[in-house]
Structure 1
Amino acid sequence: MRKLTTSLALAISLLAAAGCGSTIDGVAAPGEIDVRQLDIGQYPTDPVSEFSEYSYSFQSGRALAAMRLADHVVLGEDVDPKFTFGSFQAITSDTPLVMSKAVHPALEENRILFGFATGNSDIQEFSSMALAPGDEALADIMRVRKPTYFGLTVMQFPDAATAERAATGIEQLDFDVAPDQNIRVAVPDYAGAHAHWRPGVASMVATLAHGSYVLNVQVGVPEPEENTLTELIKKVFDAELPRLDKLPALSPVDVVKLPNDPNQVLERALNPKQLAGPDLNNFASFGLQGFLQTRRDLLNMRDLYTKVGADRFGTSWDSYIIRTRDDDAAKELLEGTFVGDAFQVADAPSNIPTSKCVENKDPKGSIKRFACAVQYRRYVAHVQSHQLSDAQQRAAAQYAVLANSQ
């Protein structure tokens, strides 16, 4: 058990009850608003370390290791600009759903530690993740759409020898699902890759051990052309391996010792659930690459994030927070947030000049009807709700958390 610590730049006092009966910590520093006067509804305004502690465990460490790995896994556009749609899945068990049940024995026997999977397609309605469990009927329905896609699963094992055994085992078990129909193929420039396909079917699978990592790639193209399939696999390997070379492998002990929220980004995020356990969907910290893996709808913000030096991102229960280079960069990011035809300006929270709210007019978008953003020093945070008043209260509470966590 470890109590997360917060450096306090403001004098903390427990004063002023809000109308709902809760309290807001903190007093205003010179030039800053008094957060005690904000309408925060019933939302908490303390940093997460004030009400929750992180317990080190192998299972929690697996989730943190998957977040770490996500920052070193390619996005679709890193392989080809046409791969603009995608999804992700963390691997934190010995029998991940993203891998076919047929290959689970190879994962268990070789003691898989953790992993991260990314699915990428040129068609929004297609998901390569749906093909992973080996449901041929579903696969046939998906292939009718004639997508070009790749699904990449990166897994880490205890050492290089174990990873090689796992890769060989995955290939053999998958091949043996239909040994009378599958044939083995070679991947250009990757003699160590194990690959096979079923002639006449426009997909192919390849597995490659790389140090302590194993890469499993499934690709598909509109027509069953062997060379086109192997070339796509090669492109995925070419894009992914240099990223993995920058990520030292972890031992099982290292996994347990991984810190939760090492950059204290989530410490500054609104946390209405008051839970601090790692969760890739609800309480997670990433760099830019990992964040975009989980928020594909924000890929159009990539250039702006890079321009303002955004280096850490936190997802916290239906909101997220971004750390930029400095205060001026954060202001620029706030101005560039919620821009486009899908958004209509809505009333921002009163008394917070560095804030903005919008109504989302795109029914297919991932953002709820109302969304607000607030900027405090070098941080920008986003909240959302189906009601404007609730979004405004969330934004006010988020601003207070940012002020109280300094």
Structure 2
Amino acid sequence: MRLLASAVATVALTAAGCGSDPNPAPVAEPTIDISTLDVGPYDANPRDMGKPKNAGQAALMEAERLGNAMPLVIDIDPAFKYNGLFDSLVFIDAKSSVMKNFTDLSNFTEDAPDLISGFGVYGRNDSDDLGIELVNTAMIFPTEQRATEVAAALERRDFGRDPQSQAVAIPKFPQARAHWVQGKQAINVWLPLGRLVVFSAVYDQAKNWFHKTDLADLVNRATTSLDKVVPSLSAFHPTPPDKLMDQPMDIDGMLGRTMVRPTNAKGEWLNPPGAYIGYTGVAFASDPADTRRWYEANGVDRFGDYGNEVYRARDTAAAQKVRDELGDPAKHMKRAAAPKNLPVAKCREYNGRETLATRFYCSVYHGRYAAFAAGEQLLDAQQRISAQYAILVKADSK
């Protein structure tokens, strides 16, 4: 479960330091000799990512482009400001995705053998998972006809797993296929949308605990969700299957500015490397509401995730503030030593009771870019952020 450390908890415990000036004057970035930095075993060079190397990589890149069109759950309902599931949001195998927590995917490959890839978002309105959960997932198929066929097949399979299942109409979206199980406060919805199949599910932990049901509330929540999802995804135009290998892997050099993942630490990450626009990076945060706050405050418009995380902010002053959000002491976080010869970096150590959290976190900024790294050992986190800083400097000098 080290997956918690780098895939989700990278921005999980961010909070502004107490008692500090909320708008301190930005400090000029010093000139740093990157040849003096200890980068350990890490590659400290930017890269031109080019085009996909294989079909699987091309499909994952398409899923990430799809993710840029997927509304955040907190955009659907601000109350859904908590995360907590440790599942892939980006996938080519649905059985590894966030969907598996809401429907049985045992026969997915049989029903949807031609899935290209998908992207999902998840949120809940209670930090301890005692309230309502909402998931939205979109999956890409080769043709509109196949998407229509697959949506029907998946819903039919889902419906048939419980003899108490009952069909439910979503009046505003008559093309949607939905059902609930009588006596259970949950609804699953399957919707064909062009070449996409949208899966949306609502599960109410509290009502199920007290054996209460309210079908009208489920339909209302599903409708509210689709009200956001459908127009947003309708603006996404999937790449023709025969053109996937021709699409660039990067966006504005963001992925090429991140440190390559260590080959001996594959288990640290839930999702593949990726570059995103707008607020899509918030979908990966375990505290989406707070992360969205500092995205907006600092004009973060690009997010890259490979061996570290990189954010492009409005300007240098905003990048400094992102560095501070990710590196200053906060609740359950105490200050740790910054890397040698890198005064623009900040590090902190987790000091809470969560046994799955990575212990050390470091952040840095250069120009418009801020970056974040994590490691079980302080030296490792320091070396990762030092390598990351060198990459940012070199990328800007090209």
Give the TM-score of the pair, scaled to structure 1.
Answer: 0.77
CA distance in 2, matches of 1:216, 1:375: 38
Paired position in structure 2 for 1:61: 58
Please, what is the CA RMSD of the aligned residues? 2.8
Shift of 1:40: 2.5
Paired position in structure 2 for 1:348: 338
Paired residue total: 350
> 2:167–2:179: 8 Å Cα contact kept in structure 1?
yes
Paired position in structure 1 for 2:46: 47
CA distance in 2, matches of 1:390, 1:196: 49
CA distance in 1, matches of 2:107, 2:260: 40
One-letter amino acid of the counterpart of residue 58, structure 1: A
Secondary structure of 2:176's counterpart equals strand
One-letter amino acid of the counterpart of residue 34, structure 1: D
CA distance in 2, matches of 1:43, 1:58: 27
Q: Are 1:287 and 2:277 counterparts?
A: yes
Q: Deviations over 1:186-215 (max 9, x none)?
A: 113111111112211221211111222211
Paired position in structure 2 for 1:258: 247
Spell out the pairing of 1:179-218 with structure 2 (5 A cutoff).
Answer: 180-218=163-201
Shift of 1:280: 6.3
One-letter amino acid of the counterpart of residue 283, structure 2: Q
Secondary structure of 1:363's counterpart equals coil
One-letter amino acid of the counterpart of residue 156, structure 1: I
Shift of 1:365: 8.4
Paired position in structure 2 for 1:392: 382
Q: Deviations over 1:236-279 (max 9, x none)?
A: 1012112112211221123222211232112222225279x9x8
CA distance in 1, matches of 2:357, 2:367: 25
Secondary structure of 2:71's counterpart equals coil
Paired position in structure 2 for 1:305: 295
Q: Would the alpha carbon gap of residues 366 and 79 (structure 1) be closer, same or farther in structure 2, given more than 3 Å must change?
A: farther
Spell out the pairing of 1:1-400 with structure 2 (5 A cutoff).
Answer: 32-49=31-48, 55-86=52-83, 87=85, 88-93=88-93, 98=100, 100-108=105-113, 111-126=114-129, 147-178=131-162, 180-221=163-204, 222=207, 223-273=212-262, 281-297=271-287, 299-317=289-307, 319-339=308-328, 340-364=330-354, 368-400=358-390
> 2:90–2:272: 8 Å Cα contact kept in structure 1?
no
Secondary structure of 1:84's counterpart equals coil
Q: Would the alpha carbon gap of residues 282 and 392 (structure 1) be closer, same or farther in structure 2, given more than 3 Å must change?
A: same
CA distance in 1, matches of 2:355, 2:65: 27
Shift of 1:148: 1.4
Shift of 1:120: 2.4
Shift of 1:165: 2.0
One-letter amino acid of the counterpart of residue 42, structure 2: Y
Q: Which has the higher contact order (CA 8 A, sep 6+)?
A: 2
CA distance in 1, matches of 2:243, 2:270: 19
Q: Deviations over 1:130-186 (max 9, x none)?
A: xxxxxxxxxxxxxxx5x31222221122232322222222222222333x4222121
CA distance in 2, matches of 1:94, 1:356: 38
CA distance in 1, matches of 2:341, 2:379: 14
One-letter amino acid of the counterpart of residue 106, structure 1: D
One-letter amino acid of the counterpart of residue 31, structure 2: E
Q: Would the alpha carbon gap of residues 148 and 298 (structure 1) be closer, same or farther in structure 2, given more than 3 Å must change?
A: closer
Q: Would the alpha carbon gap of residues 103 and 373 (structure 1) be closer, same or farther in structure 2, given more than 3 Å must change?
A: closer
Give the TM-score of the pair, scaled to structure 2.
Answer: 0.79
**Aligned residues: percent identity?**
26
One-letter amino acid of the counterpart of residue 184, structure 1: A
Q: Deviations over 1:197-236 (max 9, x none)?
A: 2211221211111222211122122132211111111111
One-letter amino acid of the counterpart of residue 138, structure 2: V
> 1:48–1:271: 8 Å Cα contact kept in structure 2?
no
One-letter amino acid of the counterpart of residue 80, structure 2: F
One-letter amino acid of the counterpart of residue 117, structure 2: F
> 1:72–1:289: 8 Å Cα contact kept in structure 2?
no
One-letter amino acid of the counterpart of residue 111, structure 2: A
> 1:304–1:333: 8 Å Cα contact kept in structure 2?
yes
Secondary structure of 1:101's counterpart equals coil
Unmatched tracts of structure 1, length 5 or more: 1-29, 127-144
> 1:102–1:177: 8 Å Cα contact kept in structure 2?
no
Unmatched tracts of structure 2, length 5 or more: 1-28
Q: Deviations over 1:24-68 (max 9, x none)?
A: xxxxxx97321112223333222245xx98643221111111111
CA distance in 2, matches of 1:234, 1:365: 38
CA distance in 2, matches of 1:169, 1:93: 17
